[in-house]
């Protein structure tokens, strides 16, 4: 057998598989495991009937463009629709500030590629979305963590880290944030902090990569739409590269997402996308466009919010009843995730085999930290399993946690 490692690039040699996908593999083939690992939407809320109808109309053969190659920037009609979608999010974007991509994951990959030379710094939150870590590292960026507070990224720490990195002679390209119901913590960056973040970006000449897959999924008992206002909405200087997706509000199988950024950035992203995949799938884009045009997307949004809010309620209620103050978590105000901190000294990686024995799965929190921290944390997704499984799976997890905890210990703060 040939040893292929001498043939591989440095980037390929250092690539690590996604922890979340690895968790999925652990559960595969075990039907009795309840998995809180992947951040999948619930298939029961996909608008199957409407999609069936749209697909059968699109596939009559009347319009060859449906199955044809298309423009790299994306389907013109969908781009025009996105101008309206962005305006509804208080962002005034023109067509030349938009590009459609094959999932926000592709947007992260392309953004890393156009911004970073090997060793350039991208600042990320501690913790941050694991897919961003892998995408940016694929561009050989050096990721440096910034602490979080209960209302999102810690601005004092941001300035400190930025200053330290620059004085060490490194080029800091951008800060990556997920302001709405962050993956993995569920945290929402406060409006005041968003304003100050933009000020700091101007003051320190920094770009911001704003990733917003979950903004539409706010829970109306504790959050308003106004609180999810994108940073991009107040980006007077053009410092924000904004990413969003139809994955969580329609279906991830369409692999259709978009980037809103200043035109010169979009131009570079377009060239990078040409070599990645020429264009996003035409059928996918037509399906998404028709779902938007016929009002399917807007009509299902309230029921999605209610659906995920009910699931959050079941998970939180069960956790509270079963664990009391033996673990802590920031109350999710939207999105898919609940982030648990176990008492210091407990290790979520060591606990995982015992959780699997109890037939429940989670993602270890350390997978989301670029500084090796977070050993006592774990991420639960309440989005995918049905409510009955959420209750049962959470009970199993709590049983596992209880046996790990020495009597009398309590959790430290959820967000350090
Ligand atoms: C923060 C964040 N960014 C990007 C993505 C990728 O989304 P997409 O399905 O559009 O590639 C996800 C998916 O879970 C996510 O949570």
pLDDT tens digits, 238-258: 999 999 999 999 999 999 999
Q: How many CB atoms lie within 10 A of CB 279?
A: 20
pLDDT at 235: 98
Helices (H) and strands (E) in the chain, counts: 13, 14
pLDDT digits (tens, 9 = 90+) for 122-138: 999 999 999 999 999 99
Which ligand 1 atom minimizes the distance to the CA of 129?
A: 1
Cα of 247 vs centre of ligand 1, distance in Å, is 7
Q: Which is higher by pLDDT, 326 or 20?
A: 326
Which residue's CA is the closest to the ligand 1 atom numbered 16? 183
Which residue's CA is the closest to the ligand 1 atom numbered 14? 39
Cα of 213 vs centre of ligand 1, distance in Å, is 6
User: 12 burial class (0-12, 13-18, 19+ CB within 10 angstroms)?
Assistant: exposed
Q: Enter the DSSP assignment of 295.
A: T
The mean pLDDT of 326-347, rounded to a whole number, is 95
Q: Is 12 helix (H, G, I), strand (E, B) or coil?
A: helix
Q: Does residue 15 surpass a pLDDT of 90? A: no
Distance, CA of 213 to CA of 250 (rounded, Å): 11
CB of 178 within 6 A of ligand 1: the answer is yes
**Averaged pLDDT of the chain:** 94
CB of 213 within 6 A of ligand 1: the answer is yes
Which ligand 1 atom minimizes the distance to the CA of 107?
A: 11
Q: Enter the DSSP assignment of 170.
A: P
pLDDT digits (tens, 9 = 90+) for 151-186: 999 999 999 999 999 999 999 999 999 999 999 999
Q: Does residue 415 surpass a pLDDT of 50? A: no
Residues in the chain: 416
pLDDT at 19: 65
pLDDT more than 70, % of the chain:
94
Confidence of residue 409 (pLDDT cuts 50, 70, 90): low
Q: Enter the DSSP assignment of 246.
A: S
């Amino acid at each position: 057998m040939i040893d292929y490692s001498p043939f591989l690039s440095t980037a390929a040699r250092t690539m690590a598989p996604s922890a979340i996908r690895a968790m999925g593999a652990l559960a595969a083939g075990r039907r009795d495991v309840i998995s809180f690992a992947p951040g999948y939407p619930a298939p029961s809320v996909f608008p199957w009937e409407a999609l069936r109808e749209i697909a059968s109309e699109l596939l009559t053969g009347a319009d060859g463009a449906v199955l044809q190659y298309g423009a790299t920037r994306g389907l013109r009609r969908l781009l025009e629709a996105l101008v309206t979608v962005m305006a509804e999010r208080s962002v005034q974007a023109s067509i030349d500030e938009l590009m459609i991509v094959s999932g926000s994951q592709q947007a992260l990959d392309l953004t890393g590629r156009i911004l970073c030379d090997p060793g350039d710094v991208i600042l990320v939150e501690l913790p941050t979305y694991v897919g961003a870590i892998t995408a940016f590292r694929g561009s050989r960026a050096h990721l440096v963590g910034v602490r979080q507070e209960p209302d999102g990224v810690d601005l004092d720490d941001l300035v400190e880290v930025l200053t330290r990195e620059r004085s060490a002679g490194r080029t800091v390209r951008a800060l990556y944030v997920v302001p709405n119901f962050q993956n993995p913590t569920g945290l929402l960056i406060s409006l005041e902090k968003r304003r100050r973040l933009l000020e700091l970006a101007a003051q320190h000449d920094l770009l911001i990569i704003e990733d917003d897959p979950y903004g539409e999924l706010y829970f109306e008992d504790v959050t308003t739409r106004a609180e999810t206002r994108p940073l991009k909405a107040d980006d007077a200087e053009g410092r924000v590269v904004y990413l969003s997706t139809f994955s969580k509000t329609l279906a991830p199988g369409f692999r259709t997402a978009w980037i809103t950024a200043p035109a010169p950035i979009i131009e570079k992203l377009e060239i990078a996308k040409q070599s990645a995949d020429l264009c996003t799938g035409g059928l996918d884009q037509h399906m998404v466009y028709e779902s938007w045009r016929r009002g399917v997307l807007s009509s299902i949004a309230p029921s999605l919010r209610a659906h995920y809010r009910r699931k959050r309620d079941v998970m939180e209620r069960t956790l509270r009843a079963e664990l009391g103050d033996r673990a802590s978590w920031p109350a999710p105000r939207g999105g898919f995730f609940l982030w648990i901190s176990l008492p210091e000294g407990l290790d979520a990686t060591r606990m995982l085999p015992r959780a699997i024995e109890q037939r429940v799965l989670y993602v270890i929190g350390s997978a989301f930290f670029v500084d090796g921290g977070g050993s006592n944390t774990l991420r639960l997704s309440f989005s995918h399993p049905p409510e009955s499984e959420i209750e049962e799976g959470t009970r199993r997890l709590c049983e596992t946690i209880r046996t790990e905890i020495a009597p009398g210990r309590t959790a430290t703060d959820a967000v350090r």
